[in-house]
Amino acid sequence: MNPDVFLSKTISKFEKWYVKDDHRKNITAYDDIITKEKIESLTNDEFVNFFYDFVSEGGKIQSGGYRTKNLFKEYLENNLTTFKKFILEPFSNNFNFDDWFNRINEFSYFGVGIATIYLNRINKNDYSVLNNKTLKALREVGYNLSLTKNLKNYKEVNRIQKQWTKTYPFIDNLYKADALNHFLIGTDKGKQLLRDNIYKEFSDDNFEQEEIIEKIDEDKELQNEAKLLKLIIDNEKSNQETITVNLKTYKRHNYLMALIKKYRKYTCQFCSTKILKENEEYYIEACHIRAKSDGGKDSFDNILILCPNCHKLFDYGKKEKINHTKDFLSVKINGKDYKADLRKI
């Protein structure tokens, strides 16, 4: 998915949702208390009670830490001086963000999610929220991020979201950027927009691949497997986004997938199904073993040719015991073992 294209179509719908949602009301929550002066003025009991409530409420951004709130309170009471010093550091002129972020895990029950929400509440223009919702939403939209809440991912999230504030006038701070993440994966409307876009993109790609296959089948040179394989290898090495065939331009990854479908004889690599259509052509689908959003490449050993059932199984089934080499893929999905030969035979 192209993030910029998707978001340009989505922002207006997000704006209509936001102005009616509690996120709009909560944007100023804690503004009167999360200041250096106010926190320093709190008695020890007031300090403990405030952060107990803050964690319990998830900073009014994420789900609250109800299961661990009492453990957090007990920890806080026993480590008050150290935690209070940590909490006040972001107000210092010499604040070292990287060092602070890397020390979050020193404080039990105060994880990266709630810690970065706290920073966002200090300064909505500088600090992004990094939690599971953030990473899942950005990956769904098409950004190349892992699901690890580490410093590297934080900086990339912060870079992406600050770019949003420059590109989309309505997203004028990083609190709203986080609200957009929630809208996309936490609301029915946002989820539907993602599903519709993914389906449309898949349909468009599949249609383009079928058109390319018609041209491949008409090319006598490409009925020779050795020549077909050479063309696949040449396209793997290409850095071009598009390719022109008979004066028409296609996405390069669609051209590569069409070539591999032909090379694999339109046969599912999991169940050996071969679907013959009424027009005497074959229907088959292609997918990446390692998603491009996870750093996967358009390459022969990262593309699976699957029937529709196995494709959905691979996308949505419970995968375990994955072993992916250059030559083979073995994986257990929903308790059943599957194996695919990825070699250039």
DSSP assignment string, 224-244: SHHHHHHHHHHHHH---SEEE
Helices (H), 219-302: 225-237, 252-263
**Selection from 131-140, 168-177, 210-219 with the highest mean pLDDT:** 168-177
The per-residue pLDDT for range 252-302, each reduced to its tens digit, is 999 999 999 999 999 999 999 999 988 888 999 999 998 876 778 889 999
User: What are the Cα distances from residue 23, in Å, to 13, 136, 167, 197?
Assistant: 15, 19, 21, 25
What is the pLDDT confidence band of residue 203, given thresholds at 50, 70 and 90?
confident
- Looking from the CA of 321 toward its CB, the CA atoms found within 13 Å total 10
Q: What integer pLDDT is reported at residue 262 of this predicted model?
A: 93
The answer to whether the CB of 250 falls within 8 A of the CB of 256 is no
Q: Phi and psi (nearest 5°) for 251?
A: -65, 135
What is the pLDDT confidence band of residue 137, given thresholds at 50, 70 and 90?
very high
* Residue 64 clears pLDDT 90, i.e. is over it: no
- Relative to beta strand 248-251, strand 242-245 is antiparallel
Q: What is the mean pLDDT of the chain?
A: 91
The per-residue pLDDT for range 185-194, each reduced to its tens digit, is 999 999 898 8
The per-residue pLDDT for range 75-123, each reduced to its tens digit, is 999 999 999 999 999 999 999 999 999 999 999 999 999 999 999 999 9
Tokens found for residue 305:
């040719």
Tokens found for residue 299:
């390459």
Q: What integer pLDDT is reported at residue 83 of this predicted model?
A: 97
How many residues are recorded in the chain?
345
The answer to whether the CB of 129 falls within 8 A of the CB of 113 is yes
* Residue 58 clears pLDDT 80, i.e. is over it: yes
Residue entry with tokens 């058109």: 211
Tokens found for residue 114:
């709630």
Q: Residues 6 or more apart from 152 whose CB is under 8 A from it?
A: none
Q: What integer pLDDT is reported at residue 146 of this predicted model?
A: 81
* Residue 4 clears pLDDT 90, i.e. is over it: no
Quote the CA–CA distance of 169 and 182 in Å, as a whole number: 19
The answer to which of 118-127, 288-297, 303-312, 316-325 has the lowest mean pLDDT is 288-297
Instruction: Compute the average pLDDT of residues 166-185.
Output: 96
Q: What integer pLDDT is reported at residue 296 of this predicted model?
A: 83
Q: Would you give the distance in Å from CA 195 to the centre of its chain?
A: 14
Residue 71's CB: how many other CB atoms inside 10 A?
12
Q: What is the DSSP letter of 283?
A: E
The answer to whether the CB of 229 falls within 8 A of the CB of 216 is no
Quote the CA–CA distance of 247 and 3 in Å, as a whole number: 28
Q: What integer pLDDT is reported at residue 126 of this predicted model?
A: 98
Q: What integer pLDDT is reported at residue 303 of this predicted model?
A: 94
If you write DSSP's letter for every residue of 29-43 in order, what string do you get?
TTTTTSSHHHHHHS-
What is the pLDDT confidence band of residue 49, given thresholds at 50, 70 and 90?
very high
Q: Residues 6 or more apart from 91 whose CB is under 8 A from it?
A: 35, 36, 122
